[in-house]
């Protein structure tokens, strides 16, 4: 009998969709399963359990997972004992709908139910019945589950979970529940372990990361505390909300050398009327003033954003206001999305999906074109500048390496023998809208000497 045919094949294959929070959650799931004598495999053919950790933020995220489950059909036929599970936001959003009939799914678990997975999987093995657990918790932070097997240059670490903001377009408060922050001592403990494993950069994560607060200990204090940990050289955070940027936080980003000079500041829309309909709690003017204040206080700051086009009822004139604000603030980069109606949100219940898809596409094209020009202009300002780059690995083109500067911009340079995790100085010679291309000023000998 091969391992594959064994009734309790404990090899698990995990696939992750969506945001960095999901990547982090998949690490939590791996850790929970490892502690319960499951092993992880990179081969779906070998696996007894396939888990898809999913996203619900836009409709195409759902479609991808449905297509993937269909694709797993032949594998299920060949391996009748195979268990397929859907985890995360899509499970929480669509609930038992995902288990109905011959859906190809055996279990679903929401973002606060991962500790129950070993028992759920065992039960499906034993009973053959479908399993679900979707309770959202006001307390679960997985503080007692430090993922132990992380790879790469950057370690992601969730410091808070959930969101209380209820932006009217967004499904996150429904899929991830109420805001809750981790005890700072527990965060520090995890970062110390990461530093001991050799990580030089951490990114503090949360759906609304800067509203972090644990008994009066706020996000500015958390960054300061993390920066005191030896070995950690760079601290990033995402995603913040514009409403939670007190002066103390800007001060920390401005003055703490380990706090990266990059802020992702999601605008969503340029019209105050649309912002109000989105429940974003700031006006166009307040947002622009905040962005200006940030640029004044933090020299060299890289500002990026998220924008939605075609929010229900958005007029052409209101869309043009988004173009205007983007032009005025001159973000270094932007993630731009067509509005996607989400079940259970206030916008879906009260406003419908009123902007036709062709109009959304047309607005999107205009926005992307304008942003490409702005990103290129912003990058051109860097020509001749020298940056400290944290090397990540090989670039797309052979013979070149890539890394990121403090502002999170991708920097490409000729392979000089640097290794992932090295800090090297690179002088920028030319740029594209998305990349800085330069010459490494640090020799391999210097890097190694510095490292010793």
Rule CB under 6 A: which residues touch ligand SAM?
Answer: 19, 57-58, 169-170, 172, 207-208, 239, 241, 266, 268, 306, 308, 337, 339-340, 342
Q: What's the sign of the alpha-carbon dihedral 251, 255, 259, 261?
A: positive
Nearest approach, Cβ of 179 to ligand SF4 (angstroms)? 9
340 binds, among ligand SF4, ligand SAM, none (CB under 5 to 8 A by kind): ligand SAM
Pairwise CA distance, residues 155 & 164, whole Å: 26
Nearer to ligand SF4, 173 or 438 (CB): 173
User: What b/e string do you get for 41-61 counting C-beta neighbours within 10 Å, with b at 16 or more?
Assistant: beeeeebbbbbbbbbbbbeeb
Identify the CA nearest to 162 among candidates 150, 152, 170: 170
306 binds, among ligand SF4, ligand SAM, none (CB under 5 to 8 A by kind): ligand SAM
Nearer to ligand SF4, 137 or 414 (CB): 137
Pairwise CA distance, residues 310 & 358, whole Å: 10
Nearer to ligand SAM, 19 or 290 (CB): 19
Residue 68, helix vs strand vs coil:
helix
Q: What is the DSSP string of 408-427?
A: --EEEEE--S--TT-EEEEE
Nearest approach, Cβ of 279 to ligand SF4 (angstroms)? 8
Strand ranges across the sheet with 39-40: 39-40, 11-16, 49-54, 83-88, 107-109, 131-133
Q: Interhelix angle for 219-227 vs 184-196, to 10°? A: 30
Nearest approach, Cβ of 307 to ligand SAM (angstroms)? 6
Nearer to ligand SF4, 12 or 209 (CB): 209
Pairwise CA distance, residues 95 & 203, whole Å: 31
Nearest approach, Cβ of 316 to ligand SF4 (angstroms)? 24
Nearest approach, Cβ of 269 to ligand SF4 (angstroms)? 12
DSSP annotation of 270: S
Residue 95, helix vs strand vs coil:
helix
Tokens of 226: 């993390």
337 binds, among ligand SAM, ligand SF4, none (CB under 5 to 8 A by kind): ligand SAM
Distances (CA, A) of 248 to 102, 139, 179, 242, 298: 54, 27, 21, 14, 13
26 binds, among ligand SAM, ligand SF4, none (CB under 5 to 8 A by kind): none
**Site residues (vs ligand SF4, CB under 6 A):** 163, 165-167, 170, 172-173, 207-208, 241
Nearer to ligand SF4, 72 or 136 (CB): 136
Nearer to ligand SAM, 310 or 407 (CB): 310
Nearest approach, Cβ of 382 to ligand SF4 (angstroms)? 30
Nearest approach, Cβ of 242 to ligand SF4 (angstroms)? 10
260 binds, among ligand SF4, ligand SAM, none (CB under 5 to 8 A by kind): none
How many other β-carbons are positioned within 10 Å of the β-carbon of residue 88? 31
Nearer to ligand SF4, 172 or 307 (CB): 172
Pairwise CA distance, residues 449 & 58, whole Å: 48
How many other β-carbons are positioned within 10 Å of the β-carbon of residue 27? 24
173 binds, among ligand SF4, ligand SAM, none (CB under 5 to 8 A by kind): ligand SF4
382 binds, among ligand SAM, ligand SF4, none (CB under 5 to 8 A by kind): none
Nearest approach, Cβ of 37 to ligand SAM (angstroms)? 34
Nearer to ligand SF4, 195 or 207 (CB): 207
């Amino acid at each position: 009998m091969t391992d594959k045919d064994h009734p309790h094949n404990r090899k698990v294959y995990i696939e992750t969709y969506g945001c960095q929070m999901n990547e982090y959650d998949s690490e939590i799931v791996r850790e929970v399963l490892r502690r319960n004598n499951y092993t992880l495999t990179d081969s779906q053919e070998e696996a007894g359990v396939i888990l898809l950790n999913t996203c619900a933020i836009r409709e195409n995220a759902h479609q991808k997972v449905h297509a993937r489950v269909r694709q797993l059909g032949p594998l299920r036929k060949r391996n009748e004992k195979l268990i397929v599970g859907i985890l995360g936001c899509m499970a929480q959003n669509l609930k038992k709908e995902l288990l109905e009939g011959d859906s190809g799914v055996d279990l679903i678990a929401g973002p606060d139910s991962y500790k129950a997975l070993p028992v759920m999987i065992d039960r499906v093995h034993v009973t053959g019945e479908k399993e679900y657990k979707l309770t959202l918790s006001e307390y679960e932070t997985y503080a007692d589950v430090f993922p132990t097997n992380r790879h790469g240059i950057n370690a992601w670490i969730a410091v808070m979970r959930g969101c209380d903001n209820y932006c009217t377009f967004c499904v996150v408060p429904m899929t991830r529940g109420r805001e809750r922050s981790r005890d700072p001592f527990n965060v520090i403990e995890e970062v110390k372990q990461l530093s001991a494993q050799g990580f030089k950069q951490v990114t503090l994560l949360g759906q609304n990361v800067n509203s972090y607060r644990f008994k009066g200990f706020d996000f500015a204090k958390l960054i300061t505390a993390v920066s005191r940990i030896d070995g950690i050289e760079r601290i990033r955070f995402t995603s913040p909300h514009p409403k939670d940027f007190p002066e103390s936080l800007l001060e920390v980003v401005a003055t703490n050398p380990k706090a990266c000079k990059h802020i992702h500041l999601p605008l969503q829309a340029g019209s105050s009327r649309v912002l109000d309909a989105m429940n974003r709690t700031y006006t166009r003017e307040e947002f622009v003033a905040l962005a200006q204040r940030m640029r004044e206080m933090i020299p060299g700051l890289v500002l990026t954003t998220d924008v939605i086009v075609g929010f229900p009822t958005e007029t052409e004139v209101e869309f043009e206001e988004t173009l205007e604000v983007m032009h005025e603030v001159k973000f270094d980069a932007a993630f731009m999305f067509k509005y996607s109606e989400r079940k259970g949100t206030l916008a879906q219940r009260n406003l419908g999906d009123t902007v036709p898809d062709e109009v959304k596409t047309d607005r999107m094209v205009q926005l992307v074109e304008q942003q490409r020009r702005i990103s290129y202009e912003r990058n051109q300002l860097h020509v001749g500048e020298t940056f400290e780059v944290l090397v990540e690995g090989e670039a797309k083109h052979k013979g070149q390496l890539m890394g990121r500067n403090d502002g999170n911009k991708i920097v490409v340079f000729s392979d000089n023998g640097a290794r992932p995790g090295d800090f090297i100085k690179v002088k920028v010679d030319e740029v594209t809208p998305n990349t800085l291309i330069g010459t490494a000023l640090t020799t391999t000998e210097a890097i190694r000497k510095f490292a010793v």
